[in-house]
Every structure is written in C-alpha cells, then in structure tokens.
Amino acid sequence: MMFTENRDMSSTISLPTCSCCHRHIMPNDKCVKFNCPDCGVDLIWRCQSCREAVRNYTCSSCNIQGP
C-alpha cells in the first residue's frame, strides 16, 4: 500500500517562542526547553542568546519568574 498523500511541510511549521525575549526560536538554535519548575504546566523555551545572557523567564501559567 502506497501513501500518495503529499503534505507540504515547508509552510506550516510553527516555531516555538522564547519565554524570555518572545522571539521565535529557529530549529538550529541551541535552545533549551523545560517544564515550569513551579506549576509544571507551562513549557518554558529559552533561546541560545537568553541562555548565554541568563535572562529571566516568566511562566505564563503561574507567572513566576526564574533564571
């Protein structure tokens, strides 16, 4: 059985947003992602420049700020 459905993968990629600077994180960015240590609900993304600058993130679920 062949899968003939051809999906266009180039236009519908949704990039994650950095929780610190709110910029889109590129796929080749050396970013980190982790769940909020307080509520565990929100997924915190941190881009490479925010990691290096050790910027604070803000959880959008419980509004804690942390390094």
Interface contacts to Zn ion, rule CB under 5 A: 18, 20-21, 36, 38-39, 42, 47, 50, 59, 61-62
Nearer to Zn ion, 16 or 38 (CB): 38
State in angstroms the smallest separation of the CB of 39 from Zn ion.
3
State in angstroms the smallest separation of the CB of 11 from Zn ion.
24
Burial class (CB in 10 A: 0-12, 13-18, 19+), 59: buried
State in angstroms the smallest separation of the CB of 4 from Zn ion.
41
